[in-house]
């Protein structure tokens, strides 16, 4: 028969008290013991978890946390619009800063070298018509492009298709929704070539 204690007429089995103590201090959670708890939820609206970044990273089973003030290298991430009040730079000797696949487009000029083209992209290539351009002659055409603002800076370069050193190229006008390209024949003879022009739009502001 178990030992009993009498408290104001009430009998409490001391072995039951021992079982309660065993649960609280051996099987249950205390402020100092270590237990693995499964299938439990913590309401963070009324509870706080504290620890260092290293401690949380140790607890995390499939990655690491990024912090607001720390310096971490992020890989394989895709961001939307990313405003910055500081410099956006790249230390890569080959990658640099630029547009990714899918940002560009292509268009071929029809009829003549002065025929306008439409290409709604921030970068791409324009293949000019192969009509002849006389020595010392210049031709201009308009590129209609919805990606261009009046404050932007279009950059152009001859990619291929023309006699090396035979041409000079520049952007001769910029407006909201378009820019103009001028091509000059600086060779000593007429040239009839389908010059391929690469372009990219640098976004700019007036102030």
With contact defined as beta carbons under 8 Å apart, do 183 and 130 qualify? no
Q: Taking the model in full, what pTM does it have?
A: 0.70
Percentage of residues in the chain with pLDDT exceeding 90?
54
pLDDT value of residue 9: 47
With contact defined as beta carbons under 8 Å apart, do 72 and 54 qualify? no
* Domain range 104-202, CATH architecture: Sandwich (2.60)
Query: How large is the average pLDDT for residues 63-82?
Result: 83
pLDDT of 57 higher than 90: no
Q: Where in the chain is the domain with CATH 2.60.40.2080?
A: 104-202
CA-based nearest residue to 133, from 123, 141, 144: 141
> If you average pLDDT over every residue of the chain, what do you get?
87
pLDDT of 77 higher than 50: yes
pLDDT of 10 higher than 60: no
pLDDT value of residue 42: 80
End-to-end CA distance of the chain: 92
Range with top average pLDDT, 55-59, 84-88, 152-156: 152-156
pLDDT value of residue 47: 85
pLDDT in tens, 26-39: 556 666 767 777 78
Residue 51 banded pLDDT, cuts 50, 70, 90: confident
pLDDT in tens, 91-104: 899 988 899 999 99
Provide CB contacts within 8 A for 171, sequence distance 6+.
154, 155, 156, 179, 180, 181, 182
Instruction: Report CA Rg, the chain.
Output: 36
Phi-psi region of 111 (alpha: psi -120 to 50; beta: other; left: phi over 0): left
pLDDT value of residue 102: 95
Which letter, b or e, does each residue of 101-133 get, where b requires 16 or more Cβ atoms within 10 Å of its Cβ?
A: eeebbebebeeebeeebebebbbbbbbbbebeb
């Amino acid at each position: 028969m178990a030992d009993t204690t009498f408290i104001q007429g009430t009998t409490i089995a001391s072995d039951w008290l021992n079982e309660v103590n065993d649960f609280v201090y051996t099987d249950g959670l205390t402020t100092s013991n270590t237990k693995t708890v499964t299938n439990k939820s913590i309401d963070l609206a009324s509870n706080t978890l504290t620890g260092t970044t290293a401690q949380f990273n140790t607890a995390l089973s499939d990655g690491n946390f990024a912090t607001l003030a720390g310096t971490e290298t992020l890989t394989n991430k895709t961001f939307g619009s990313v405003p910055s009040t500081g410099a956006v730079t790249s230390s890569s000797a080959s990658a640099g800063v630029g547009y990714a696949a899918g940002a560009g487009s292509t268009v071929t000029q029809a009829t003549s070298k002065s025929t306008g083209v439409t290409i709604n992209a921030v970068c791409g290539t324009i293949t000019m018509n192969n009509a002849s351009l006389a020595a010392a002659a210049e031709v201009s055409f308009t590129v209609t492009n919805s990606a261009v603002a009046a404050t932007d800076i279009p950059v152009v370069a001859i990619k291929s298709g023309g006699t090396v050193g035979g041409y000079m190229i520049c952007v001769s006008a910029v407006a909201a929704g378009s820019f103009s390209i001028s091509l000059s024949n600086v060779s000593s003879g007429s040239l009839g070539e389908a010059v391929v022009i690469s372009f990219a739009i640098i976004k700019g502001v007036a102030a």
